[in-house]
Amino acid sequence: MEDGFVLGGKTYRSRLLVGTGKYKDLETNIRAIEASGAEIVTVAMRRVDLGSQSGKDLFAALKPYTLLPNTAGCYTAKDAVLTCRLAREALGTSLVKVEVIGDEKTLFPDNAATLEACKELVKDGFTVLPYVSDDPIICKKLEDAGCAAVMPLGAPIGSGLGIRNPYNLRIILEQVKLPVIVDAGVGIASDAAIAMELGCDAVLMNTAIAGAQDPIKMAHAMKLAVEAGRLASQAGRIAPKLYASASSPISGVIEPVRRG
């Protein structure tokens, strides 16, 4: 994409962010990331053993990318803050995705705890990307707290239900001046395109690619969908109408020749 996506003071060409969980093996994971064209890759710090060979292999393979450590598996603000600080020490990055889960069954985020963690992390010099529900109020509060972006969900994590509430996303886009990254719920390529058509700045996904029958093909599909949605958003759609409108103008129509 010609227009850059700015996050934390750095410009990225790709508006697709991808994860590293649920893949059958490391090779498939890396090939999918390559096919996606993503430049930012998120890693769940509480689910990777940095001291194991598999953990070392993963981070060695991710060297070409910008790492976005996340706090998946945290249920309190305290745990999320601690995980981010450990990630900064281990990986040398202050760019973090903060998620504090409020319900074990639905995996919906705890917005209040997320806000609490983000305020502390911003004061500590982190570039914070919070994962929250599609609530315009919490997104505005996170902007006021100094976050670098907001990441409202499209649908529950791993559900593949797509963009369930485009109207809330539109309100968030109107009220928040930060980058808006749809995170969670994408199932197929058209979901990613819809998010971008609405005007979102980027899309983050993991299960939609990792859980596909062919993750490499799906990663490529998502890349194209994000690009198409972005171009459509920039182009500006026609106004929807209730009734038909002829593609060709009526004026100047050549009348048929009538024989005697």
Return the structure tokens found at 135: 């609530």
In the block, residue with structure tokens 């983050």 = 204
Amino acid at 105: K
- From the candidates 56, 63, 97, 217, which is the catalytic residue? 97
The Cα-based distances of 209 to 12, 75, 119, 176 in angstroms read 21, 26, 32, 29
In the block, residue with structure tokens 């590293």 = 20
Amino acid at 194: I
Note if 97 is an active site residue. yes
Residues 240, 225, 43: CA angle, nearest 5 degrees: 130
Radius of gyration for the chain, computed over Cα atoms and rounded to the nearest angstrom: 21
In the block, residue with structure tokens 């026609």 = 238
d(CA 119, CA 146): 8
Return the structure tokens found at 142: 């996170």
Other beta carbons within 10 Å of 237: 8
Amino acid at 106: T
Asked if 208 contacts 201 with a C-beta cutoff of 8 angstroms, the reply is no
Asked if 134 contacts 109 with a C-beta cutoff of 8 angstroms, the reply is no
- Catalytic amino acids? 97
